[in-house]
Structure formats: C-alpha cells, structure tokens
Amino acid sequence: MGSPPIPDGEVIAEGAEIVEVRSRRMDGSPTNGVRDLGQAVVMPGLVNVHAHVEYTILRGLLDGLPFFEWIRALTALKSRCETDDWIASATVGAAEAVASGTTTIADCTDSGAALDGLLALGARGLVYQEAFGIGEDVPVDEAIHDLKARVAELARRAEPGLHRVGISPHSPYTVRPALLRSIATYADEDGLPICIHAAESHVEVELLRRGTGTIADSLAARGIAWHPPGSSVVTYLHDLGLLSSRTLLVHGVQVSASDRAIIAQSGAAWAHCPRSNARLGVGVAPLRWMRTCGRPGPPRVGLGTDSVVSAGTMDMFEEMRFALMIQRALGRNPAKPSAGDVLEMATIGGARALGMEHSIGSLREGALADIVAISVRDRRYSPMHDPVQAVVFAGNARDVMMTVIAGTPVYEKGRLAGHGLRAAHSRLRRATAKVRSLPEPGA
C-alpha cells in the first residue's frame, strides 16, 4: 500500500472528496458529524477490475465442464433470459459486490444490464459493451455501426462522474480479425478503454498457433474459415492494434516469455482472476511476471472476481486470499506475494489498471471518498498485530460494516441504500426457475 496504517485514525470527507487522512483529533459525538466506527479497519473501497454482474442468475450451474464446452453452454443458457431478467440479475450482483466492500466494478456486459445494476446501487463503474462476431454473416461496417449505437446508449444512461464506458471485444476466438482491427480503430478515434479476454486457456493458444483443437473444430463445424496467425495471443492482439495503455487484458494464464516486451511497450494492464481460472481448470497466471512486465513504475495489475458462474461470489476478500495462497504454493515461496501486494491489487493496483489511480484506490487528500469500513470485532481478528495481514488472511464480505461511494454511504449495518432491490430479487427468483426448468446444456 502507499502508506502505513494509521492507528486510531480518521478520514475527513467533504462532499464527494477526501480532504484529510490523519490521526484522530475529534470526538465521536453526532453534533460534529463524526462517525465513530469502533473496532474497525477503514480502507480504500475495493476495485473489482473484471466482472459480469448480469450472469448472477447462472450461479451454481455448469460446474465441471472443460473450458470451451463451458463457454458454449453459457452461451446457450443466455438465450433463455429476457432483458428484465438480466437487469434483475445485474442488480442483485451489484448489490452483492457493494455489500462486500467493492466501490468500483469494471464490468463486461452483453445486454447492457450491468449499467442498470450500478445505477440501482449508486456504484462506481467502468462498463464495457461486449462485442461478438467470429463469422462473416454480419459485415464489419454493420457490426461497428451497431456497436457504436450500443456504446452511445450506455453513455447516455451513465451517471457523469460515476460511470465510464468502454468496449469489450469478447476474445480472439469469438471476434474475427477484421472486426477486431475495426474495433481497435474505433476505440483509438474515440479514446475508449478496451477490455478483452486474452490467453485464458490452452485451447485458445492452440487455435492461434496451429489452428487446431476444440475451438477450431467448433468453427469448422459451423462453416467458419479460420486462418491461424501462428503467433501468441498477445502478439496477435498487438498486430491488430488492440494493445495500448487503455487496454485491459483479462486472465493472461497462457502468456509466453516473448510477450513481455510487447506488454511493456504497449502499457496494457492485466486483470487477474485466480478463482475463475482455477475453477475452470485453465491454469495459474504468472502473477510475478504480470506485476513487472519489464517496465518501470508501479504494477498495473488488478484483481477481478469474473462472473459468479466461475468464481462463486463477488467477494474480493476471497479473491485476495486465493491469489496469495495459490501463487505461494505454485512458486514455493512463503513470502511472495505478500498480503500488502494482493491488497494493493484490490485497491490502487486495480485503479491503475483502469486508468483511475488519480481519483480512486487510496485514502488521500483529493481522492474521491470511496471508502470501506471493516468490523474487526470477531475473534478471527484477535490479536491484531498487522491490520493488512488481518484483512487479507481473516477478512470476508460479512465483516463489511459500511461502504461509501463518493462520500455517500451506500451500504451500512446490513442495509443497502439502492433502489429496486426487492423487485430485482423477486424477478431473479422467477427467472431462475425458468432457467432451471430446462436441462443444463451439455448435461
């Protein structure tokens, strides 16, 4: 983290901004506007750099499928849901995130419902409009026209100062090269952030390097021609013009040593989603490599939960802990990453990955007042020698006592301040019954 913890400290906010962080000087009486949180750790709001909150409705399904079969089954399940189902699902997912201390969500959305969820909760977010199109059935110009219209609609509905809009060409195996190149041009012309799932699985690598494997077989069965570039995923995206400092690469499990210089030169950032990668059996991303990439300056790597279909929850405490544990086990290193490393990734590191480090991710004068308070009264926290280690090794979503976004409490003492939550839960229950009424794809 940027500075050591302050024992018995206080954060002073005026409006949406922090004006001072200091040792406590004031009493906690209600008359002077001070909230005494008692035994609590106050820290920057958590930054989830990769999620799909609209997929909350699919939680608990599709477990145990190989990666590409999982992708195809997920696509089949999506066809069973209507627009209002996605909005309810995204709202419930965003509520889960906010109640677990997340103040900023970078979300990839096909339906656009992620923005509805963020608006309902008053959550900060970067909403990426997803794009698909591996076949030639839709001309590139028509696909770009449709994408621009959907991005414009998101921008129209977004709340200024709280939401940004970007583009997410889904992956190298679901968007054809010509469309990827045109999306890169569009993003450059409009200065839009890009997010893309990249180097997630070995079947993706096999498709690009040799044009073989389960994805290649699926494309052939659909009559879609594929000409493998014979390169790594990162090289392929670089050659198509997709890599820049506005690009967020998600997963990166299968990156190669030759990718290091390309990433360093481009300035692209990483979203690390260890629980999702583990559950889908695609491997473990080289986190140490990601955090350096041969470039100067602080790491541009953030943590993401991915969807609850693959991670199970929106709990960033679980994500931090799992990231630390699996990297230490894989590297046989009991010291790296440290608790501070993964907490950084969940806060200021995530902010850097999204290009938002000047406004969120830290408690300092001039930053936006995105704050989370964690109760440490439970015996799991006793004794507390180091609050950073305590939060990372013992913390969970249930310990969050207050979440503040832009100076406004949006979750406090078990109650969310959002609107439409009861209706969203009711709609989600009905939609879930509809989804479950048919057999799971691949079952």
Q: What is the DSSP string of 317-350?
A: HHHHHHHHHHHHHHHT-SSSS-HHHHHHHTTHHH
pLDDT tens, position by position, 272-329? 999 999 999 999 999 998 888 767 778 899 999 999 999 999 999 999 999 999 999 9
Looking at 226-267, which runs of residues are DSSP E strands? 247-251
CA dist 67 to 64, 70, 102, 326, 440, Å? 9, 5, 28, 20, 16
Q: Is the pLDDT of residue 60 over 70?
A: yes
Q: By the 8 A CB rule, do 344 and 11 touch?
A: no
pLDDT tens, position by position, 81-115? 999 999 999 999 999 999 999 999 999 999 999 99
Tell me phi and psi for residue 318, to 5 degrees: -60, -40
pLDDT tens, position by position, 353-388? 999 999 999 999 999 999 999 999 999 999 999 999
Cα 337 from chain centroid (whole Å): 20
pLDDT tens, position by position, 228-259? 999 999 999 999 999 999 999 999 999 988 89
Q: Residue 380: which region, alpha, beta or left (left: phi > 0; alpha: psi -120 to 50)? A: alpha
Average pLDDT over residues 124-130: 99
Q: Is the pLDDT of residue 31 over 50?
A: no
Q: From 247, 237, 236, 249, select the one nearest 286 (Cα to Cα).
A: 249
SS3 362: coil
Domains and CATH numbers, the chain: 46-361 (3.20.20.140)
Contacts of residue 85, defined as CB under 8 A and 6 or more positions apart, other chains included, come to 57, 427, 428, 431, 434
Q: By the 8 A CB rule, do 183 and 169 touch?
A: yes
Residue 1's pLDDT is what?
57
N-to-C CA span, the chain: 46
Distance, CA of 156 to CA of 177 (rounded, Å): 29
